[in-house]
Chain A
Amino acid sequence: MPRAFRPRRLPEVGVPGRGAGMMKPTARWRERLASVVRLFGRNRMGLVGLAMLGLAIGVAVLAPWIAPYDPETTGRVTIDDIYARPSAAHLLGTDDGGKDVLSALVYGARVSLVVGFAASLISMLIGGSVGLIAGFYGGRVGNLMMRLTDIFLVIPDLPLMIVIVAMVGPSLWNIIIVIGILGWTGTARIVRSQALSLKERQFVLRARAIGAGNFHILRRHIFPLVLPLIVTNTVLVISLSILEESTLSFLGLGDPTTLSWGGMLNFAFTRGAISTGAWWALVAPGLGIVWVVLGCTLLGNALEEAFNPRLQSHHLQGEERMIARPAQPGASDA
């Protein structure tokens, strides 16, 4: 990240003193949220990412109002309408069916984002729980889970996805599930390594000395400290999921009833957009994909920086950044 080149600004809020201590818990929580927001806000790339993703979500939600044409209705199409150049009537030209590319792009955002969010939610749930259980409980079950993760990690995702989608049929939900159950390995590994290092910390030993059981420790001491990591990872997985959906659709394995960006690319590619020189039919969905993926990645990286558990803050340091603590043994195999 280009962070290192920017001069460090002095914090706006100083050391929390007596006044801070007397606040109500809700106020403290708000202050903490504010500090995360402040930290995040200092990262300009993250803000750009958030804005990009926000715009994409806005477009997807407001698609019926934004899109100039309804992609479902098929009007009368003449030969001139096919791959028509961008004009006032069709800002981004038309596609092989004589339909408006801009409208398809706007509605396509819905498909891409739904697949992205839903698939990464599945990844997060599987990866998070596998990582937590394998890291915290360890032992035979943990080992078994990690070997399973390794297997999923080494299988090339794309061929397997193609096989599965070809077998179960290319519906939107099938694609979401396939992407979801193939994309959790990274999250599982990261969460496991974090849980492994957390469970050796002294505050977990203290909880045991108090008499707390495994579930209590997991809920109170491990999960809250792993959660930011899961959230951050999820944002990064969203971009991967969107890419994978586009890949599948581009290969013709997308849901035939909904037109995603990958599907648009597929149609343009297979139906002569290149030979007719209709660059707009290829560039528009391509830029859409790049836009959302870039937004997610920027946002994810910024969140990672704001939440990183290794960057701990100190009571004498107003700015909530500090030198990373040395890595815990056993945490390095992610």
Chain B
Amino acid sequence: MTGPDGSALPTRGPGVLLTVEGLCKRFPLPRGFIGTLTNRPTEAVHAIDGISFELQRGEIMALVGESGCGKTTTALTLMGLLEADEGTIRFNGEDVTHLGRSVEAPRATIAALERQSFRREPSFQPTLTMKDLRRQVQMVFQDPYESLNPRATVFETVAEPLEVHGLAGTRDQLLERVRRALEDAGLHPAEDYLWRRPHELSGGQRQRVVIAGALVLEPILLIADEPVSMLDVSIRAEILNLLDDLRTRRGISVLCITHDLGTAAYFTDRIAVMYLGRIVESGPTQAVLAHPLHPYTRALLSVIPVPNPRLRRKRMILTGETPNPVHLPRGCRFHPRCPIATARCAEADPAWREVTPAHSAACHEAVAPG
């Protein structure tokens, strides 16, 4: 399989696409003038505190958690928009953790690489640059009212990635690719939308434009940060179906970040639940929903509204605030709010263990169902 410009793209098919290991991202807090004078140690917000997961090719995975738990930070770090402090990100087997700053490889390097490939040295391995990575990993943002330039037409927005990557070609080719991306994103006939500006589109249409802008580079991984949270409920299913459809038709993997287990349950294969910068439970969607292992997951599940008003369910309302991510609690980070916490939970941080096949949790009390 070759990319639009003839470069080798990873083949699609089964296998691991994305591996994240022990990823950490801290945001140091300003020390202030006095702090600097007294050389007080810098404190930091632990936005992500060692998360690990794998994403298979063609898989849709949800990263679920409440606000402030580090979901968006994870997405931005995976996109290389933030640089990870610790841990590794492997994309298609290649370490892309610190491509970070070098948006473009220096021309000399590219020339050297091209010479090498011309000589067909067997040892030659093309290395990914940030720009290559950007072509293969694209992101859909939360707020479709904010993620489009209000002065740019739909055509300009969708064509922009191609121009940035120098893949625009002739005007006709460009138009054709933009048109195809729009149609793929469910905006047809595309001609109706090409010259509109964001204020002439509805929320759902805008989100489709954002998705089209991500699709136009033909990525193999789409990171969707709360793709439907700003949309009307009536449009949510459409957008989620679209993402699902893209997986089946294009074999794209999707990492969907959401605070809503209902959204995750709707179309994902696997769910990872995040709490305070760490993944506390992960497993196949069905298993997580049917037999949640972690008390936090149970709490999230218990507050999903049930359509039947006669069906009374005991809700598990968590008390207390999320602990401050600067001073994390000792032991299990969920224990101050956990309804089943024991003395052990305040002492020892629970290990990540596989309770049933492919279904793991970080909880001392987690037991296999049945």
Contact = CB atoms under 8 A, between A and B. Distances in A.
B192 A314 contact: no
Contact of B161 (A20, A23, A210): A210
Given A210-B164, A312-B199, A202 B79 contact: no
Contacts of A225: 149-151
B356 interface: no
Interface in A283-334: 312-315
Nearest to A213: B103
B40 to A, nearest CB: 24
Nearest to A201: B146
B134 A210 contact: yes
Contacts of A313: 199
B81 interface: yes
Interface stretch (A61-69, A216-224, A267-275): A216-224
Interface string B193-207: 111100111100000
Given A22-B191, A315-B199, A203 B148 contact: yes
Interface residues of B, number: 39
Interface in B183-222: 191-196, 199-202, 210, 213, 217
A88 interface: no
Interface in A33-69: none
Contact of B135 (A28, A211, A213, A216): A211
B176 interface: no
A221 B191 contact: no
B130 to A, nearest CB: 7
Given A202-B146, A209-B81, A210-B161, A21 B199 contact: no
A16 B196 contact: yes
Contact of B160 (A201, A212, A312): A212
A269 B104 CA distance: 66
Contacts of A23: 195
Contacts of B199: 312-315
A314 B210 CA distance: 18
A18 interface: yes
Interface in A194-220: 201-203, 205-213, 216, 220
Contacts of B217: 210
Contacts of A8: none
A213 B134 CA distance: 12
Interface stretch (B58-66, B136-144, B303-311, B325-333): B136-144
- A18, A203, A224 — most chain B CB neighbours (10 Å): A203
Interface string B23-50: 0000000000000000000000000000
B212 to A, nearest CB: 12
Interface residue SS majority, chain B: loop
A209 B195 contact: no
A24 interface: yes
A75 interface: no
A44 B146 CA distance: 33
B291 interface: no
B141 A315 contact: no
B344 interface: no
B287 to A, nearest CB: 32
B153 A209 contact: no
A21 B196 contact: yes
A313 to B, nearest CB: 5
Contact of A21 (B135, B150, B192): B192
Nearest to A16: B200
Contact of A22 (B165, B192, B200, B213): B192
B134 A211 contact: yes
A25 interface: yes
Nearest to A27: B195
Given A28-B195, A202-B141, A203-B146, A209 B200 contact: no
Interface in B6-33: none
Given A210-B161, A211-B135, 5 more contacts: A20-B200, A202-B142, A209-B79, A210-B164, A220-B149
Interface of A: 15-16, 18, 20-25, 28, 201-203, 205-213, 216, 220-221, 224-225, 312-315
27 contacts: A16-B200, A21-B191, A25-B195, A28-B153, A28-B195, A203-B148, A203-B149, A205-B81, A205-B147, A206-B148, A206-B210, A206-B213, A207-B160, A209-B134, A210-B138, A211-B130, A211-B161, A211-B165, A212-B164, A213-B103, A220-B149, A220-B160, A221-B149, A224-B151, A312-B150, A312-B199, A315-B200
